[in-house]
Amino acid sequence: MFETTRRDGVVQARREGARWLSTAWDGGYRDADAVYNVTVPTGFERTDLDAYRAERLAAAGFPSGPTLLTGVDVAHARCAASGPVRVLATAGLSNPAVLPMAPDATDGDGARDWRPGTVNLVVGADRALDDGALATLLATAVEAKAATLLDAAGVPGTTSDAVLVGSVPAADRAEFTGSATEVGAAARACVRDAVLASLDARYDDGPPGVEEAEYGVVTDRQTDVRAP
C-alpha cells in the first residue's frame, strides 16, 4: 500500500516502483517511487516551478518526484483507504469554478481574481495498470471529486485542481478502472471520503458557498450546438 509522510508543508506518497499519471504543470506518465503535494504561501507568484519544487523537497529532506501545488495547508490533508486503493486529498474552495446549466447570454468566462485554493488528489492503486487504465482511473477520480464537491459546496471544482494517479507494475494486474470495477469503486469511495474529511478539517462551519468566494470563475459563455 502507498505510504504517506508529512513534514515542512509537504506530504509525500510513496510506493517503490510506482508509475504515475499527473495533471500538474509537468504532467504526463512518470515512473517514480514518491510523489508530493506541497503547500505554497499566500501570495505565491513563482513561475519557475521546477526550481521551486526542487527547493521545497530538498528543504523537507525528500527526493525529487512528481508534485502538486496547493494553497491549502497540508495539515488539512486527509487519507482514505479501501481495498487496493488509497487516496490523499487537500481541499480548499476559495476559487470555485462554477458551471451554470443555464448560462447567461454572454460571450466569455465571467472571471474573478485568481487565487490558489485547489482540490488536489493523489490516488494510488496497488495494482498493475496500463496507460489506458491509469487514464480511466484519473477520470474516475475526477468524476468522484466533482460529485462530492457539488453535494458539499455546489461547485464541481476550483480553477486549479490537480490529480496524480498511480499504479504498481509489479502488483496484480487490473484491466479496467471504471466505476463498476474493484479499483474504480474503491477510488470513488476514497475520493469522496478524503475530500469531505479535508473540507471538515479546514472549515469549522462547513465549506463556503459560491456567493462567499472572492476568487474563481463562472463559465457562462454560450456555444453553437448542432447535429454532426
Encode pLDDT of 70-96 as tens digits. Answer: 999 999 999 999 999 999 999 988 888
By the 8 A CB rule, do 167 and 22 touch?
A: no
Does 111 have pLDDT greater than 70? no
CA 148/CA 196 separation, integer angstroms: 7
By the 8 A CB rule, do 25 and 47 touch?
A: no
Helices (H) and strands (E) in the chain, counts: 3, 13
CA distances in angstroms from 88 to 44, 63, 103, 162, listed in the order given: 23, 19, 34, 12
- 11-27 pLDDT, tens per residue? 999 999 999 999 999 99
CA 130/CA 26 separation, integer angstroms: 20
pLDDT band at 42 (very low <50, low <70, confident <90, very high): confident
Domain segments of the chain: what residues?
3-219
- DSSP secondary-structure letter at 211? G
For the domain covering 3-219, report its CATH number: 3.60.70
Region label for 61, one of left (φ > 0), alpha (ψ between -120 and 50) or beta (otherwise): left
The amino acid at residue 31 is D
* DSSP string for residues in 95-137: SBEE--SS--SBSSEEEPBP----EEEEEEESSB--HHHHHHH
- DSSP secondary-structure letter at 39? E
- 114-147 pLDDT, tens per residue? 455 689 999 999 999 999 999 999 999 999 999 9
Alpha helices in 6-130 (DSSP H): 49-60
Q: pLDDT value at position 114?
A: 45
